[in-house]
Amino acid sequence: MIPFDNCTLKNDEINQPNRLKCSNPTPNTIPWLLPMEWIEPGKSTILGGNKFVFYAIHTTGLIIILISITASLSVMLNVYQNFNRKKKSDFSDRFPLYISICDLLWGVSNLLGDHVVLMIYQVFPSKGIATLLAVNLFFFFGYQQLMNAGLTLSTYLKVVKHVTLQFGYLEWRLHTAVFLILISQIGMYCYLEAFGNGGFWFLIDLKTGWGIFFGAAVCATCTAHATLTLVAYRAIQNVISDHKRLFGTYVEPLPPKYSDDENKFPNSVRINSYIHQTTYSTATNCLTTFIYISICLYFPLAFIVWAGWTFAYFGYIEPFCALGVIISANSGGWVNAWGYFHNRKLKERRKTLVRNTLRPNNSSSSNV
């Protein structure tokens, strides 16, 4: 037996560095914080030998990810059933499918590429393998975020600025733009060797200068995404609320052949005004749902990643920040599913109101 920096090696294990598992390579002056220097290829993923923190964080991640994967699959199934009932579909119909697919792929990649690998092997892999796993996570998480940003930008320009973006058949231009942005970033950060082991996941090697820069860029992007999403949805909501008040008190312009006597207005005109009012009210509620989603998902994520980056800048991992990042980053699937099914209920309620409004008017017209 040969002692080696608080570790014990057998004589025949000296030339097998991957079997070296140090629970505490260097003294830790702050017991709760985990030094970044413990993250090295071949060393134990149970940082500091703290099994409670290790299993608590990874088990929580597994549970949240499985819930999000199940929720994403339910959305995909529901959207597919709706497609079969419709003859046509637009971007608003297809977008939930895109997001659910992104959430599903992100969840699977994070499940297998992070938590399962670290829990089963319990040894940090080499720099090359860590980089591949980090690129995998970065691509799917980035795709999810950029698709959300594309929806926000498109809706904002259409409703507030009256500019319609043409994404092409099945939004191929949007997918191409997202893919090229991600590939260019992956190429740059791979060249700078900024990807690597992050302690409880694979994404950023915060022990390097470029890794610190990469982490700051990720934090700034999350903050900008959260802020701009909220501002855009607020502006959209204000416009639609104005339309709601307008159609609630004003009947749309009539053709010249109709007089100003309300009794001479055809039923279809009054019905159309009511349908407009109900539609805008429903759209407002749906947008409010997504505002709540952006507040509950993106802002906590931005705050927590900044806190985690601050600790990492000084060379430590803070377990509560790590747990918060894992929960917030992996909750997109079930949160988006909640928003989708909530909006589905609102739309069904609107259809019921319109149907009940049309039925008595149609019957009265037939009696005349």
Distance CA 34, CA 57 (A): 14
* Whole-structure pTM value: 0.74
Residue 37 in this model has a pLDDT that exceeds 70:
yes
Question: Residue 225 pLDDT more than 80?
Answer: yes
| All structural domains of the chain with their residue ranges | 45-362
pLDDT tens digits, 283-309: 556 656 666 677 778 888 889 999 999
Which range scores top for mean pLDDT: 29-33, 162-166, 195-199? 195-199
Is the per-residue pLDDT at 102 higher than 70?
Answer: yes
Cα 255 from Cα 321, distance rounded (Å): 62
pLDDT confidence band for 14 (50 / 70 / 90): very low
**Does the pLDDT value for residue 158 go beyond 80?**
no
Average pLDDT over residues 175-186: 93
Reply yes or no on whether the pLDDT at 10 is more than 60. Answer: no
3-state helix, strand, coil in the chain (%, to 5): 75, 5, 20
Average pLDDT, the chain: 76
The residue written with tokens 């999000």 in the block is 68
Fold (topology level) of 45-362 = Rhopdopsin 7-helix transmembrane proteins (1.20.1070)
Outline where 160-266 has alpha helix (H).
172-191, 209-249
Higher-pLDDT residue of 118 and 1 is: 118
How many Cα atoms occupy the beta-carbon half-sphere of 72 within 13 Å?
24
CB 202 within 8 A of CB 130: yes
Kindly tell me if the per-residue pLDDT of 188 is higher than 90: yes
For residue 358, how far is the Cα from the chain centroid?
39
CB 186 within 8 A of CB 214: no
- Given a cut of 60, whether residue 366 has pLDDT beyond it is no
- Residue 15 in this model has a pLDDT that exceeds 50: no
Using the predicted structure, report yes or no on whether residue 270 has a pLDDT greater than 50: no
